[in-house]
């Protein structure tokens, strides 16, 4: 099974004082998703933004909002993100004692449910959840900050999840997040990923469209 490639620029690397223009730039570049990192200063040391900011963003964009919650007990925020206009809500197995219930709640609220594991968490943590989710996110850096180096050992986990997906006849997307650039994206795709988050690589240059095209080209090599 081949799922279509989707680019998910991470707005964590954008200019926070001008989300409206940054969203426009992402849309004009031809991205399918915008990846929105929600950090609470507890699950990860960094603090980013919450559902109120996402609701404001929603008024400026029709892109698919891919919300990655790096938040303790994310089930507390399901209703808030659904109301804010999130399309996908992705939650960490490490962040709650009730990951299955959290995913059920996300689906019941009408969003697509994603589950995510940190680099130190094994794929076995995902196995009981695979039939329930629309997206599996394999972190390729430790979460909390943009601009970190890609951890190549995580590719084995992408491969393992792709194998399980095939074995069970499932069709969820596999997303990678962290250190994705023109050098690492192809290995991620070869391992089985089809949704690619990229922050610093896309925003470090003026021309976001050209950067995104370079990533897409790297996938065809
Ligand atoms: C890290 C975030 C990422 C981050 C990726 O915790 O989940 O989405 O924005 O940034 P880059 O692409 O710079 O590694
Ligand atoms: Zn993220």
Over the stretch 141-188, which tens digit does the pLDDT of each residue have?
999 999 999 999 999 999 999 999 999 999 999 999 999 999 999 999
C-alpha of residue 190 to centroid of ligand 1, in Å: 20
Residue 69 in tokens: 């919650």
Section 8-14 average pLDDT: 98
Mutate which of 48, 145, 185, 204 for ligand 1 pocket (most atoms within 8 A of beta carbon): 145
pLDDT at residue 2, as a whole number: 65
Question: Which pLDDT belongs to residue 104?
Answer: 98
Alpha-helical regions (H) of 14-119: 19-28, 51-58, 78-84, 99-108
- pLDDT(28) > 80: yes
Share of the chain above pLDDT 90, in %: 98
Q: H or E segment at 122? A: none
Task: Say yes or no: CB of residue 34 within 6 Å of ligand 1.
Answer: no
| DSSP strands (E only) in 118-187 | 135-139, 173-177
User: Which residue, by CA, sits nearest to atom 4 of ligand 1?
Assistant: 146
Report, as an integer, the average pLDDT of 3-13. Answer: 96
Instruction: Clarify whether 177 is annotated catalytic.
Output: yes
What was the pLDDT predicted at 143? 98
Say whether 190 is catalytic. no
β-partners of residue 10 are 35
Q: Residue 61, annotated ligand binder?
A: no
Cα–Cα distance measured from residue 114 to residue 163, given in angstroms and rounded to the nearest whole number: 18
Is ligand 1 within 6 A of the CB of residue 116?
A: no
pLDDT at 76: 98
For residue 3, pLDDT over 90 is answered with no
Domain boundaries, the chain: 6-220
- Nearest CA to 56 out of 18, 105, 8, 12 is that of 18
CATH classification code of 6-220? 3.20.20.70
What's the gap in Å between 177 CA and the centre of ligand 2?
6
Average pLDDT of the chain?
A: 97
Q: Which residue has the tokens 């989300």?
A: 19
Tokens for 107? 């689906």
pLDDT reading at 13 higher than 70: yes
Measured in angstroms, how far is the CA atom of residue 214 from the centroid of ligand 1?
Answer: 18
Contact 144 CB / ligand 1 (< 6 Å): yes
Instruction: Name the percent of the chain lying above pLDDT 70.
Output: 99
Reported as a single tens digit per residue, the pLDDT across 82-114 is 999 999 999 999 999 999 999 999 999 999 999
Burial class (CB in 10 A: 0-12, 13-18, 19+), 153: exposed
- Whether residue 101 is annotated as binding a ligand: the answer is no
| E strand or H helix that includes residue 180 | none
Q: Any binding-site annotation on 199?
A: yes
Residue 1 confidence (pLDDT) above 80: no
């Amino acid at each position: 099974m081949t799922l279509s490639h989707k680019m998910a620029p991470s707005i964590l690397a954008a200019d926070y004082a001008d989300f409206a223009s940054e969203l426009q730039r992402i849309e004009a570049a031809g991205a399918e998703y915008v990846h929105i990192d929600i950090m609470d200063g507890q699950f990860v040391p960094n603090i980013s933004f919450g559902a109120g900011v996402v609701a404001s963003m929603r008024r400026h964009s029709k892109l698919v909002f891919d919300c990655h919650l790096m938040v303790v007990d994310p089930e507390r925020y399901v209703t808030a993100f659904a109301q804010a206009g999130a399309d996908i809500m992705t939650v960490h197995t490490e962040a709650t004692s009730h990951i299955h219930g959290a995913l059920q709640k996300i689906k019941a609220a009408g969003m697509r449910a994603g589950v995510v594991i940190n680099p130190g968490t094994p794929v076995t943590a995902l196995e009981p959840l695979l039939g329930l989710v629309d997206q599996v996110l394999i972190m390729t850096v430790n979460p909390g900050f943009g601009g970190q180096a890609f951890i190549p050992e995580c590719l084995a986990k992408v491969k393992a999840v792709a194998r399980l997906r095939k074995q069970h006849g499932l069709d969820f997307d596999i997303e990678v997040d962290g250190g994705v650039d023109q050098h690492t994206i192809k290995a991620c795709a070869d391992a089985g990923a089809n949704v690619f988050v990229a922050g610093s690589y896309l925003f470090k240059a003026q021309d976001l469209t050209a950067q995104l095209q370079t990533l897409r080209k790297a996938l065809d090599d």
